[in-house]
Amino acid sequence: MSSRAILYLEDGTSFIGRSLSQQGESAGEAVFNTAMSGYQEVLTDPSYAGQIVIMTYPLIGNYGVNDEDVESDKVHVKGFVVKEFCRHHSNYRATQSLIDYLDENKIMAIEGIDTRALTRHLREQGAMKAIISTTDFDSASLQKKIDAVPSMIGADWVSKVTTKKKYIWPKGRKAGKTDKKYTVAALDCGIKFNILRILNDLDCEVHVFPASATAEEILAVEPDGLFVSNGPGDPAAVTYVVATLKELAGKLPTFGICLGHQMLGLALGGQTYKLKFGHHGANHPVKDLLDERIGITSQNHGFCVDLDSLKAHDIEMIDVNLNDQTLEGLRHKKLPILSIQHHPEAAPGPHDAQYLFKHFINMMETANA
């Protein structure tokens, strides 16, 4: 049963709506996502840990949820904001409604607000901390609670979402003889299942390591390549992963995605910065400078690598965002290191950029030749 709820932003702006049956409060960084579908993948993407997600598409939940379209073992968002939740989902794969799924996972969700006005406000003012509450509507009280919430800048969320112990994908498979052509060590900074599925389909046995794994532990499995995953928070705060990547630079063909791309940029001598409102959605145009190909990509990041900080380190840009000209991909001119800011695994989103995984395979092929 729904009840009155408030979404209060740190600049004092507020929106009144209705909650689902979950009552209470939840705070995080408010960001908007422009995808029209893929909400279950968004909810279960570890990169959204610590964030309240606003969907810009007005009706969400029309195809329900199922047991397959998840990107991790649980829902990671701090809150979910839509214009309207669909009450009558329809899809042959659905196992339950989105509303029941959110309530089952105890996620604060709010509907009935003007998400267009909210999105425009965040575009103009930038991503900011927010709180959803069904129990407190006092501005002074809510402001005090928001002020106590840590900023996303300087926050290490990777330690909260990484695996606790090493495993081989698919989970449960034991170490030993494999018929896979390549062995890949993956640093789990918030890795998505579809990345692992794609690597597995490309003939890779993937050994997934906690983000805290040392270079020695990674090299011990004698991998053909290193994959550095997506994840939440500020890349500059994940100093232990950056240190490991510095130690491994040049020793293994390396491919990074999203947060992995940013941490590789730091390991190679660059710097990162916070974007005003980030890139979150499944419709961002990116140009591949290697073959002049333009693709529509899935994106989810609030930080960016500063290309100017890398120009003296044998780094070249290979992908550029056509909306704001920010860096979307880089490679080292001498070492087998490649990284992409967007999500070529496309979960959710278009498949235009999945070919980038083949570049990683080619790097391993060349190293083994």
Kindly list the catalytic residues: 258, 343, 345
Residue 229 gets the label, from left (phi > 0), alpha (psi -120 to 50) or beta, of beta
Q: Strand pairing of 25-33 and 51-55?
A: parallel
Q: Whole-angstrom Cα distance, residue 30 to residue 78? A: 9
Cβ-count burial of 18 within 10 angstroms (0-12 exposed, 13-18 middle, 19+ buried)?
middle
Which residues, at least 6 apart from 286, have a Cβ–Cβ distance to it below 8 Å? Answer: 294, 295, 296, 297, 319, 320, 321, 322, 328, 329, 342, 353
150 CB contacts (<8 Å, ≥6 apart)? none
Three-state secondary-structure class, residue 97: coil
Give the 3-state secondary structure of residue 105.
coil
* Cβ within 8 Å of residue 113, ≥6 positions away: 7, 15, 16, 17, 81, 83
The DSSP-derived string for 301-361 is: EEEEEEGGGGTTTTEEEEEEETTT--EEEEEESSSSEEEESSBTT-SSS-STTTTHHHHHH
Residues 6+ apart with CB under 8 A from 138: none
